[in-house]
Structure 1
Amino acid sequence: MFRFLRGLVLPEAACEEANNSSRYENLFKKLDLNEDGRVDIAELHAGLKALGIPLGKDAEEKIFKTGDSNKDGQLDFEEFMQYLKDHEKKMKLAFKSLDKNSDGKIEASEIVQSLKILGINISEQQAEKILKSIDADGTMSVDWNEWRDHFLFNPATDIEEIIRYWKHSTVLDIGDSLTIPDEFTEEEKKSGQWWRQLLSGGVAGAVSRTGTAPLDRLKVMMQVHSSKSNKMNISSGLKQMVKEGGIRSLWRGNGVNVIKIAPETAIKFWAYEQYKKIFANEDGKIGTVERFVSGSLAGATAQTSIYPMEVLKTRLAVGKTGQYSGMFDCAKKILKREGLKAFYKGYVPNILGIIPYAGIDLAVYEALKTAWLDRYASDSANPGVFVLLGCGTVSSTCGQLASYPLALIRTRMQAQALLEGAPQLNMVGLFQRIIANEGILGLYRGIGPNFMKVLPAVSISYVVYEKMKQNLGIA
């Protein structure tokens, strides 16, 4: 993207310091379209687009936010030059951190080594694709000038920001929030961007879960009531729910499902940061295995904290019309009739389900993304948001498929007290009874509506997440 800058806008010079001003001046003139000595955001956008460097609104706004020191909404030449000088210093540090042998060039093996330290494993071939997108002279190595020219207008400030597209996104919410939490840079934590991002994800999750609540309740009903003798399918299940409680009953239990998003996300984020500190090495770095363990433990901690709400959601979803007047009435009746222990029924299979879900989710996500990069990436090592969304959707689905039997056992244990005449079995007893009476397929009751909700849930979640980010001013 930035290769042409080498000859056209950013000519090399023997004396770098003396030539920097002339480089900056040439570039400023190309961006100052109305020649008034100042560049506003519209000119920056149009000028970069004309030069073949379309950055996108977020990146351009970040440049302005950083460079516009007097906050007048425009960059004069001094502000423009100061921004580029400061940015080049940061890029120089990033370059040196990648240049492991200090020979003034970055090679594929050094990229592999550097990303491994950050907990990201890529192959030599993938590293070469990254190099190719930066390498202007075809030597399959990147010197400082090539690195600087390529990242001149990239508002990233360090290596971790430059490779952030390798991270799994929090956008995806399919109602089973067990995935490893996202990480935030120190800059995001200081600026408050982390809580805006978490809030955006929380609102997206709430809207997404509400939109797919009928399918979620249908899944729970099929998990609890469907059997060989009572064959409930998607159509008959929906009709039965509407007949029993009207259209509104399709959303029964959704209130609790939405309310638990905030505490679960907050606890998971806090716990993840604490576990990472425990597993980090002396330099404060954390590898892939440690990150996975930290994320799994964070998920378990969050689930333990909000698990009573999971029980309430199931009881409300399975309950009949008029059985409970609301969440608090349900909690009061459970406490009175069954005691405190009832709020943790199904806890063991729920916790056991986190490991296969999170492990397979991450493994499939990385495998799909790697396969896409190997096959289709030629000019850039960034797969793009829609590829990542696709990978995330498939990986989350695979994770659910692997952990679904444990999820079904958990739901049955949570709802057992509502089933008249049903024995109160433990996890092993339920497994044995289901397999004996219904076979292996009995462990997958309700998986149809569960899969049906994935695509709309992801789509709604993504659209709302992006809108929320815009409204909260997240770059």
Structure 2
Amino acid sequence: MGVHLEVYSSKSNFKNLLSGLRSLVQEGGIRSLWRGNGINVLKIAPEYAIKFSVFEQFKNFFCGVHTSPLFQERVVAGSLAVAISQTLINPMEVLKTRLTLRFTGQYKGLLDCARQILERDGTRALYRGYLPNMLGIIPYACTDLAVYELLRCLWQKSGRDTKDPSGLLSLSSVTLSTTCGQMASYPLTLVRTRMQAQDTVEGSNPTMLGVFKRILSQQGWPGLYRGMTPTLLKVLPAGGISYLVYEAMKQTLGVQVLSR
């Protein structure tokens, strides 16, 4: 739903969450609410595996296995991990965006979508939105980690143990920090989505600056945050649970890594 609001919602064609859901169901039925979910599930495994493994490797490289990394080292490690994972899975992001925004009967499936993109635009189309995606990593990583560290610091000052915080604390800290990170980088995320969907939107501009100017001229600064509500609503079930499962699997498998 967030992708539809990011691409189609404007001052002249304003859509909120409910009206967006209604239009999707009217066009393609209940199944349309899960468009693009197949490729989204497929990309999760390589995306998170690469991101988490690279993150831990860079942290160990910077400060060793038994030393707590400094904040700036965590920012660098997190940024590099996300940059590498996003570079490798960017084509899948483009396919997910196109499949999510497709109309009924437009594509026969994932392979047909990839074939049409390659035939019409070539391989470069699979990396549309790459630049704003990379630029968005820095504000996201800095904000996410800064808020997370602040919450851990407050927890420590309260006199409680930070080595093994409760699941509720972990979930709350990760959810809040991820939410703040999403808000800090959202304008670039919106531009990335518009660039990936440029074939879907008539008259869209393929350059990052062109998309920025188009949004500002047509919708003003609030336009850079169109569709943010469903994006933030999914942070709790998606981001929080993924980190809790990650920590649980580390303990189950006996993997020795540094704290976040």
Residues 145, 177 of structure 2: 8 Å contact kept = yes
In structure 2, the CA distance between the partners of 1:473 and 1:254, relative to structure 1 (3 Å rule), is same
Alignment match, 2:188 = 406
Alignment match, 1:331 = 114
What is the identity, as a one-letter code, of the residue corresponding to 1:402? A
Q: Distance in 1 between matches of 2:175 and 2:117?
A: 36
Q: CA deviation at 1:385?
A: 2.2
Q: CA deviation at 1:473?
A: 5.2
The residue correspondences of 1:51-450 to structure 2 (distance < 5 A) are 218-272=1-55, 275-276=58-59, 279-280=62-63, 287-374=70-157, 376-377=158-159, 380-381=161-162, 383-420=165-202, 422-450=203-231
Q: Distance in 1 between matches of 2:149 and 2:67?
A: 24
Q: Distance in 1 between matches of 2:182 and 2:152?
A: 19
Q: Distance in 1 between matches of 2:143 and 2:71?
A: 14
Larger proportion of helix:
2
What is the identity, as a one-letter code, of the residue corresponding to 1:335? L
The superposition leaves residues 242-267 of structure 1 with CA deviations (integer Å, 9 ceiling, x where unpaired) of 11111111000011111111112232
Q: CA deviation at 1:395?
A: 0.6
Alignment match, 1:451 = 232
In structure 2, the CA distance between the partners of 1:363 and 1:444, relative to structure 1 (3 Å rule), is same
Give ranges in structure 2 of 5+ residues lacking alignment: 255-260
- 3-state secondary structure, aligned to 2:199: helix
Q: Distance in 1 between matches of 2:252 and 2:51?
A: 24
Residues 178, 239 of structure 2: 8 Å contact kept = no
Q: Distance in 2 between matches of 1:249 and 1:398?
A: 30
In structure 2, the CA distance between the partners of 1:287 and 1:459, relative to structure 1 (3 Å rule), is closer
Residues 369, 388 of structure 1: 8 Å contact kept = no
Q: Distance in 1 between matches of 2:8 and 2:130?
A: 20
Structure with higher RCO (Cα < 8 A, 6+ apart): 2
The structure having more radius of gyration, on CA atoms, is 1
Q: Distance in 2 between matches of 1:340 and 1:462?
A: 33
The superposition leaves residues 28-65 of structure 1 with CA deviations (integer Å, 9 ceiling, x where unpaired) of xxxxxxxxxxxxxxxxxxxxxxxxxxxxxxxxxxxxxx
Q: Distance in 2 between matches of 1:295 and 1:228?
A: 36
Q: Distance in 1 between matches of 2:41 and 2:187?
A: 24
Q: CA deviation at 1:449?
A: 1.2
Residues 174, 239 of structure 2: 8 Å contact kept = no
- 3-state secondary structure, aligned to 2:11: coil
Q: Distance in 1 between matches of 2:150 and 2:53?
A: 28
Q: CA deviation at 1:278?
A: 5.5
What is the identity, as a one-letter code, of the residue corresponding to 1:454? V
In structure 2, the CA distance between the partners of 1:312 and 1:399, relative to structure 1 (3 Å rule), is same
Give ranges in structure 1 of 5+ residues lacking alignment: 1-217
Q: Distance in 1 between matches of 2:243 and 2:81?
A: 24
In structure 2, the CA distance between the partners of 1:266 and 1:392, relative to structure 1 (3 Å rule), is closer
Q: CA deviation at 1:450?
A: 1.4
Residues 91, 127 of structure 2: 8 Å contact kept = yes
Over the aligned positions, Cα root-mean-square deviation in angstroms equals 2.7
TM-score (norm 1): 0.49
The superposition leaves residues 264-318 of structure 1 with CA deviations (integer Å, 9 ceiling, x where unpaired) of 223224433554466458x998544233212211210111011000000000011
What is the identity, as a one-letter code, of the residue corresponding to 1:325? K
- 3-state secondary structure, aligned to 1:260: helix
In structure 2, the CA distance between the partners of 1:352 and 1:339, relative to structure 1 (3 Å rule), is same
